[in-house]
Every structure is written in C-alpha cells, then in structure tokens.
Amino acid sequence: MYNFDEMIDRKNTNALNTDGFRGYIFHAGPEKVFPYKDEEFVRMWVADMEFGIAPEILDALRARIDRQIFGYTGIFDSSYYESVAKWCKDHYRWVFPQEELCCSPGIIPALYQLAETLCTQEEKVLINTPAYGYFLHAAEYSNLGVLKSPLLKNEKGEFFIDYDHFEKQCADPHCKLVFWCNPQNPTGRVWKEDELKRIAEVVEKYNLWIISDEIHCDLIRQGQVHTPMAKIMPDYPKLITCMAPTKTFNMAGLSFSNIIIRDPELRETFRKRDKLFGMVNTMSLTAAKAAYDFGDPWLQELRVYLDENFAFVKAFLTEHMPEAVMNISEATYLSWVDLSKVLPDVADLPGFFANRAGVLLEGGNALFVGNAEGYIRLNLAMPRAVIKTGLERMRNAINAHKAQRDNH
C-alpha cells in the first residue's frame, strides 16, 4: 500500500541530512570540500528517514491548514493524551495517568532541562557506552560529571550489560542520574525484561533518578517486544520516560515529544522551566495526534521493509566484507558495524568514506562517547537501491585502499 522505494528529492529544504553534514560530522563549514558534489553523496548518517511520511498524517496537516489560522496553541483538552495512551496500551500493554504527560520540542532539550534541574555541579550522570552523543552533551551543558559503563560484546557483535561495572558506577556517591536508552542507540539492543529488572534493582538500591529514552521503541524488528522501563518499575517515583512520534513517523522537523514524569514536584518544575510556557507548534501537535490515531498501518509496512533492508545489508557484508562484524539490530533503523578488522589502519572512518566513497556516515568514539572505536553507524531507512549503491561504493573504496596498502 505504501511505497518505500520512492526517491524523494530533499535538496533546498534546509534539511540537516542534506545541508548540515559538514558541521555535524566534520565540525567544518562550507570551506570543506570533497571529491564529490553534495548531491552525489549517498547519505547514510543522521537518524531521519528517506521515506515520505504516512499520507494519513499529510491529510491531517492539510485539513489543519484549511482551518486558516495558526494561533497560540497548547494542549487544552484530553484528546492528545487519549491518542498517546491508546497507542501505548495497544503496543506495550502499558498506560500512565494523564497528569504525568508533559511535552517538549524534543527529547534532547528535555534531557538538557532535566539534567540541569535534577543535578548540582558536584553530581554526575551515568551512561552506557557506546552512547548517543547528546547524552554526553546534556551533561556537559550543565557542567556535570559523566560516569561511563561500557557495554560488553561478543564475537557476533551482540551487546550485553556489564552489571557489575554498572553497579560500581551507580555506587559512586556523586552519581545522581542515569540516562538509560531502550532500545539502545547505537547498538540496536532491545533490552529484555530480565535485563531491565536487574538495572531497575540497582537504580532503586542507590535511589537514583533514571531517564528512560525510548524514542526508538516503535522501530523494532518483527518478533521483538519493547518493554517500557515504567512497566518494570511501576511504583518508582524517580523515573522519567521519553517517547516521540517524530522518530517513528519521520517527522523530526516537527519537533514534538512526550516526557512522562511521575514525580509531581519535578513535573511542576519542568513545566515552570518550559521556555515556551506551555505553547506547542500547531502543526506538530496535529501531526503527532494523527500519527498515533492513523499511522499504525504505515508503521507495520515500514517494519517489514526495514527488516528486508537489514537482511540485504547482512548478506552483502557477508559476501563482500566478511571481516566486518554486523549483528542485525533488534530495533532502530541503524546498523552498528565493526570495521576494525576491515580497515585497521584507518582512524577516521567517516572521513575515509566521505572522501573515498562519497558515502556519509557516522562512527567512532568522537561521535558515540567511547567504546566505539572501529565502528560505523549506517542509516538503513532509505530505498534499498540507495543502500545498494552506498555499500558498493564502500566495498570499492575498501578494496582500493587495501590494494594501495599492499603495494606499499
């Protein structure tokens, strides 16, 4: 019913994906030039999709436009909550009270605000590595210390929690807050109930705040089950859950997220500190509600297409780059690939592939906060033909580099 093979031109839309990669990946401006024109790159980097959003959402936006006026907008009735609650009940068999629902333009600004509110400058935030870079930036913004607990991994590329090390870090007297990521970005792990229970026990033992970033929870492989941390910790007051329709339905530019805060005092502070004083973007609210009300058929077809993309990439790497270690992600549309045995002499993998293959991607410790050396993250939320081109370019660049190295 939905066409995920359609090629959509995003040029001249001020998209970070097409126009902002120099600053984000390379910390450079327009002066940085490559052997490829910007429009020639295969863009497998930032976590938005190359798919058009569900037509049902576009219809809702058009209908809202036809109302002609875009005045100050907030959430003044229960209809949005009812849409979110039904989604969570249908998909996760979990509901939360309406009063706990807060909104933010995004999970990132919420992380900044919550870290600043919950911690003093003598206190620290704990994250698992490799980690989403903005977990680190949110702590740094408030001059907080950062504790890291590296995930363990096996030869298949599967990641696991180092519970002993995690508890050791939680026991640090300065540890105040855990940034928890489920599903985990960039590894793609969907933490199972027994894993979540062990983490919950440690967090409760040391009476820590925990923010569970669950933005990728809808983007799971078929057969996987996402368990909100709130189901594991049903009565723990120091839990905040973060979810967003924007990641699921490719609406990042519409800036809208759900911040579910149990503690009444923190909830009040969070709302008082809201620099938008409760106002939301008219079109963002319209799109978010439509996504929850009408977007599920699109999401189910998307998941099938993404599963096929992951299988395609796994088969390609097995045939053409057998030294690459890739375990199919249990969630997200991002593949976390270990190239340390493929390009052991290349320190800057994003730079290598941009210059030698015309492929934009992210990877390494600089972007993923540690425990990420030798890894790249590939965005697979795009037409399969584009992925094929990108992988072929990467293979050719690797082979040319190896030939050049061997000749020397």
Residue where a domain terminates, one of 294, 320, 345: 294
Q: What pLDDT does 377 receive?
A: 98
Together in a domain, 86 and 176: yes
Together in a domain, 276 and 301: no
Together in a domain, 171 and 133: yes
Asked if residue 62 is part of any domain, the answer here is: no
Q: What pLDDT does 408 receive?
A: 74
Asked if residue 9 is part of any domain, the answer here is: no
Residue where a domain terminates, one of 239, 266, 294: 294
CA distance 283 to 387: 31
CATH code: domain of residue 41: 3.90.1150.10
Together in a domain, 265 and 377: no
CA distance 179 to 152: 18
Together in a domain, 144 and 234: yes
Together in a domain, 194 and 204: yes
Task: Count other Cβ atoms within 10 Å, centred on residue 5.
Answer: 12
Asked if residue 235 is part of any domain, the answer here is: yes
Q: What pLDDT does 295 receive?
A: 98
Contact 397, 356 (CB under 8 A): yes
Cis amide linkage into residue 228, ω under 30° from 0: no
Asked if residue 60 is part of any domain, the answer here is: no
* Residues forming a β-bridge with 153: 159
Whether the CA torsion 247, 248, 251, 254 is positive or negative: it is negative
Give the domain extent around 43: 16-55+296-407
Together in a domain, 257 and 378: no
Asked if residue 3 is part of any domain, the answer here is: no
Residue where a domain terminates, one of 294, 319, 340: 294
Q: What pLDDT does 155 receive?
A: 83
Q: What pLDDT does 357 receive?
A: 98
Asked if residue 164 is part of any domain, the answer here is: yes
Number of domain units in the chain: 2
Together in a domain, 216 and 131: yes
CATH code: domain of residue 102: 3.40.640.10
Together in a domain, 210 and 89: yes
Cis amide linkage into residue 350, ω under 30° from 0: no
Q: What pLDDT does 75 receive?
A: 97
Q: What pLDDT does 332 receive?
A: 98
Low-confidence ranges of the chain (pLDDT < 50): none
Together in a domain, 135 and 220: yes
Whether the CA torsion 263, 176, 85, 72 is positive or negative: it is positive
Asked if residue 61 is part of any domain, the answer here is: no
Asked if residue 8 is part of any domain, the answer here is: no
CA 380 to chain centroid, in Å, comes to 13
Together in a domain, 280 and 148: yes
Together in a domain, 114 and 262: yes
